[in-house]
């Protein structure tokens, strides 16, 4: 849900923004690693990943590793574009505020 300036309300929620920032830096990350980095419960992360996945921003890959089922997360191409546009929009907002002497 972006506006014309790239601001994306779906990404803007703090935990979703943090998920996107983490995933933008890697090709994919294991769910447990993301959970640990964000210091949130599995249910909180799952809820936010679900919102991002429903928007088409995050893909989930299920695999078995060490006889345990694992979930790997990655930004989709659309998610990466939306995240970067959102960050640019935030930078523009901050730049405008700094330019106004705020």
Instruction: Provide the whole-model pTM.
Output: 0.86
Domain hosting 15: range is: 9-95
Number of domains in the chain: 1
Task: Determine the Cα–Cα distance for residues 56 and 41; give it in Å rounded to an integer.
Answer: 23
For residue 41, pLDDT beyond 90: yes
Q: 10 with 50: CB under 8 angstroms?
A: no
CATH code, 37: 1.10.10.10
Question: What whole-number percentage of the chain has pLDDT above 90?
Answer: 77
- The reply to whether 76 falls in a domain is yes
SS (H, E, C) 3-25: CCCCCEHHHHCHHHHHHHHHHHC
**Per-residue confidence (pLDDT) for residue 101, from 0 to 100:** 60
- The reply to whether 1 falls in a domain is no
Mean pLDDT of the chain: 91
Q: 49 with 60: CB under 8 angstroms?
A: yes
- The reply to whether 102 falls in a domain is no
- 71 forms beta bridges with 62
**Per-residue confidence (pLDDT) for residue 98, from 0 to 100:** 65
- The reply to whether 28 falls in a domain is yes
- The reply to whether 2 falls in a domain is no
């Amino acid at each position: 849900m972006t506006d014309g300036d790239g601001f994306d309300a779906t990404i803007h929620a703090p935990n979703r923004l943090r998920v996107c920032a983490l995933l933008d830096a890697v090709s994919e990350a294991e769910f447990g690693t993301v959970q640990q980095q964000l210091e949130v419960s599995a249910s909180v992360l799952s809820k936010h990943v679900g919102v991002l996945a429903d928007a088409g921003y995050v893909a989930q890959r299920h695999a078995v590793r060490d006889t345990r089922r694992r979930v790997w997360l990655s930004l989709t191409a659309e998610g990466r574009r939306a995240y970067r546009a959102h960050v640019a929009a935030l930078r523009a907002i901050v730049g405008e505020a700094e330019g106004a002497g705020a």
